[in-house]
Amino acid sequence: MSASPQLEEAPGARRPLDTRLAAMLRSGRPLRAVFNGLASPAIVEMCAYAGFDFTIIDNEHGGADLGTTEHMLRAARAAGIPAIVRCVEADIARVLDLGASGVQVPMVESAEQAARLARRMRYPMPGGAGGSRGSAFSTRAAGFGAFGGPDHTRLSNEGLVFVAMIETPAGVANAAAIAAVDGVDAVFVGPNDLAHTMGHENRTGDPEVIEAIERVLRAASGAGKAAGVLAPTPADERRFAASGATWFASVASAIVTRALQDVARAGR
């Protein structure tokens, strides 16, 4: 499309993009994240104030439309917590244009698929470098034109995060190759989907499932990429940290439901 007129940056204005997460993942320090499938900017703020390192807005299983997702990203930026969005491939471009710090894509099964997804996240650059993302500076990510141009392109290409989710036996078998792809910043194991696709229903603690999870974590760590996993308890975190995991996720709806149950059942 034709280029939008370049606007002058307002003094003191802050870019909508929060690009801190890439460095956080590379640091190797333990990080705690929370999946948020509740279509509520207030929950995003609560996650920030509770002290989570970052949040994953769950547009694979959650109820937020893109308009609400934009408000959730806005709340994250205001509250000071990086936010990525779990989404299907077709939504990558729009989610990034809304100002996400990155995307987490489910069911990645091969290095070829991971490379294609990584390219969809990044703008084309001179000499054929970069990726295949369509460029528009009228979006929230570019401050609706206030932060467009080459600086926005560079910042987006260098600062946004791509997390490949491994949730199938094929993904487990190809985990090392997926993690080695240039542009894959982190790998995350989805235990529930992995258990189902392995034929174990929701029994994520079965020995074969645990072995597969640990294989993926070791592969990602061995490739120098951040390895993440669902770890709702300290025991889960300790177990998976021993296999190389450095970021551990909980689920907001489960946390809220358990807290409500504790109150509802108190004294009964």
Q: What is 99-167 written as a DSSP string?
A: T-SEEEES----HHHHHHHHHHTS-B-GGG-B--PPP-SSSTTTGGGTT-SHHHHHHHHHH-EEEEEE-
Q: How far apart are CA 155 and CA 151, in angstroms?
A: 6
pLDDT at 128 (0 to 100): 82
- pLDDT-derived band at 9 (thresholds 50, 70, 90) equals low
Q: Average the pLDDT over 25-48 and give the result.
A: 97
pLDDT at 112 (0 to 100): 98
Residue 117 reports pLDDT greater than 60:
yes
What tokens appear for 241 in the block?
A: 């940290």
Grouping H, G, I as helix, E, B as strand and the rest as coil, residue 228 is strand
Please list the active-site residues.
Answer: 61
Q: Average the pLDDT over 18-31 and give the result.
A: 97
In this structure, how many other beta carbons lie within 10 angstroms of the beta carbon of residue 89? 15
Domains of the chain with bracketed CATH: 21-121+160-265 (3.20.20.60)
Residue 267 reports pLDDT greater than 80:
no
Residue 2 reports pLDDT greater than 70:
no
**In sequence order, what E strands does the chain have?**
31-36, 54-58, 83-86, 102-105, 161-166, 186-189, 226-230, 247-251
Q: How far apart are CA 26 and CA 42, in angstroms?
A: 29
Q: Average the pLDDT over 95-108 and give the result.
A: 98
Beta bridge partners of 54: 33
pLDDT at 7 (0 to 100): 53
Express as a percent the part of the chain with pLDDT over 70.
96
pLDDT at 12 (0 to 100): 62
Predicted TM-score of the model (pTM): 0.93
Tens digits of residue pLDDT in 219-243: 999 999 999 999 989 999 999 999 9
Counting every residue, how long is the chain?
268
What tokens appear for 165 in the block?
A: 């989710």
